[in-house]
Amino acid sequence: MKLTIAKNMQNSASTIAIACGVYRFLRYLNRKKVRIIMYHNISDYPTKWTNKKSSLNVKVNVFERQIKFLKENYNVISLHDLVEHQIPKNALIITFDDGFYNNYRAFQILNQYDLTASFFIVADSTINQKINSKEKLSYIINKKGEKYVELVFKKRFPNHYKKLNYFKAKDNNNYMSEAITSLLTKKEIDVFTSYIFKEKISKLETRSIYLNRKQIEEMTSKGMTIGNHSLTHPILSKLNISDLSIELAQSKKQLENSIKKRVDCFAIPYGITESYNESILKEIKKTGYSVSLTAISGLNDKKYNIFELKRISVIDEPLNAFKLRIEGFYGFLENLLTKVKFLRIAIK
Ligand SMILES: [Zn+2]
């Protein structure tokens, strides 16, 4: 109910904003900036492999409407155009993270509109079709609920158990996956998720989670960029230097051998501030990448750092809201609200 009210409010806010010319004004202000938009799943059904409560699933017809709009109103460029400073006015780059199987449908639609995009693949998942810990965890939470995972967690990690309240207070809808990824080491996460994933699931269920080699070969041949999104999707800032090098370099080599092409674009797993630091950005550069992307929300102005690009995460929403989102309207509002909150605290 709350969600519907919030959604309706957002819909009417965006309709009013569009009617008042806010979108056109923002588009004019941003004309020299580069918008990089980020998708995850393009599917008519919520997948079992992404947290049900996350908004990272865009329906196929909504996606197609968005792509048609972008084709008609923006200059869609590739990441390599950005590296070479070939940036027209109203430039926009389309990206996909995690390499889900349903991205193939997105590729077909993009191809139909003669647009290019970058697909960031988790090497181990695509090349070896191994289900990574992030997806295992989402699957179990979707199927059995947070409480079940919490009980198992309590038994295995009694020392960390007290800290769960902090994550519950922060985001009560999604506290277990946040707590697990924040509190445990990569090894602990892998062992724990494999342990809770032990129940038998049918072959049919695990088939077609990720894009396969044949698909990415076809996508590359039709002008799509394949980028790397690490070997196993860990939080890079938690790794020691040798594990970091495996995640950055080994996966790059595997992908390059697979698609017989240089892979020089990288998307940082999770991409939030806590997931990387300055020395990781240096290591990405040293490994031979020309560009790397975060998931920090925003547009890129002319002072952008090519190894720390911002993106805008697209959700399933009406076209008017999408128009405002890609011009950074909601990010701006959120920033403003946070500032007002801080100001109120400061005054108190
Ligand atoms: Zn990812």
Report DSSP letters for 251-307, one per residue.
HHHHHHHHHTS---EEE-SS-SGGG--HHHHHHHHHTT-SEEEEEEES-B-TT--TT
Residue 296 forms part of a structural domain: yes
Judge if 93 and 232 occupy the same domain: yes
Cα of 13 to ligand 1 centre, how many Å?
30
Residue 201 Cα to ligand 1 midpoint, Å, equals 23
CB 292 within 8 A of CB 266: yes
Domain membership of residue 92 (yes or no) is yes
The reply to whether 93 falls in a domain is: yes
d(CA 100, ligand 1 centre) in Å: 10
- CA 314 / ligand 1 centre spacing (Å): 14
Q: How far is the CA of 40 from the centre of ligand 1 (A)?
A: 8
Residue 121 phi/psi, 5-degree rounding, is -105, 140
Ligand 1 centroid – CA 319 distance (Å): 25
- 90 and 22 in one domain? yes
Task: Report the candidate in 127, 111, 123 with the shortest Cα–Cα distance to residue 76.
Answer: 111
Last residue of a domain, one of 203, 226, 259: 203
Distances (CA, A) of 55 to 39, 140, 156, 200: 10, 18, 30, 28
In a domain, 311, yes or no: yes
From ligand 1's centre to the CA of 119, what distance in Å? 11
Whether 141 and 157 map to the same domain: the answer is yes
Instruction: Please tell me whether residues 138 and 16 are part of one structural domain.
Output: no
Closest listed residue to residue 157, CA positions, set 119, 183, 126, 124: 183
* Cα 318 to ligand 1 centre (Å): 24
- Element holding 94 (H helix, E strand): strand 91-97
Instruction: Quickly count: other Cβ atoms within 10 Å of residue 241's Cβ.
Output: 9
pLDDT in tens, the chain (348 residues): 445 555 666 667 777 777 678 899 999 999 999 999 999 999 988 777 777 666 789 999 999 999 999 999 999 999 999 999 999 999 999 999 999 999 999 999 999 999 999 999 999 988 888 888 888 888 888 888 888 889 989 998 988 988 888 888 887 777 888 899 889 998 999 898 888 887 645 555 666 789 999 999 999 999 999 999 999 999 999 999 999 999 999 999 999 998 999 999 999 999 999 999 999 999 999 999 999 999 999 999 989 999 999 999 999 999 999 999 999 998 878 777 777 766 666 665
Residues 91 and 137 in one domain: no
Ligand 1 midpoint to CA 323 (Å): 24
Distance 295 CA to ligand 1 centre (A): 9
Report d(CA 263, CA 256) in Å as an integer: 6
What is the distance in A from the centroid of ligand 1 to the CA of 341?
Answer: 30
| Distance from Cα 233 to the centre of ligand 1, integer Å | 6
- Domain range holding 117? 2-43+54-130+213-347
Q: Which amino acid is located at 198 in the chain?
A: K
> Does residue 288 fall inside a structural domain?
yes
Same domain? 295 vs 178: no
Task: Identify whether residues 106 and 72 lie together within a single domain.
Answer: yes
- CATH code at 119? 3.20.20.370
For residue 227, the CA-to-ligand 1 centroid distance in Å is 12
Q: Which pTM was predicted?
A: 0.89
At 52 the pLDDT is 67
Distance 229 CA to ligand 1 centre (A): 7
pLDDT on residue 1: 46
- Decide if 48 is inside a domain: no
Domain end, chosen from 179, 203, 227, is at 203
Same domain assignment for residues 263 and 168: no
Question: Ligand 1 center to residue 34 CA distance, Å?
Answer: 21
Asked which of 181, 203, 225 is the last residue of a domain, the reply is: 203
Q: Which residues pair with 266 in a beta bridge?
A: 228, 292
Distance 307 CA to ligand 1 centre (A): 17
> Any idea what DSSP says for residue 247?
I
Distance from the CA of 235 to the center of ligand 1, in angstroms? 10
Ligand 1 (ion): residues with CB under 5 Å are 97-98
**What is the distance in A from the centroid of ligand 1 to the CA of 98?**
5
- Is residue 292 domain-resident? yes
Same domain, 86 and 180: no
CA distance 36 to 29: 16
Query: Distance from the CA of 342 to the center of ligand 1, in angstroms?
Result: 31
Q: Are residues 218 and 175 in the same domain?
A: no
What is the distance in A from the centroid of ligand 1 to the CA of 10? 27
Say if residue 144 is in the same domain as residue 293.
no
Q: Are residues 181 and 330 in the same domain?
A: no
Distance in Å, CA 38 to ligand 1 centroid:
10
Tally of domains in the chain: 2
Residue 19 has, within 13 A of its CA and on its CB side, a CA count of 6
Q: Please check whether residue 49 lies inside any domain of the structure.
A: no
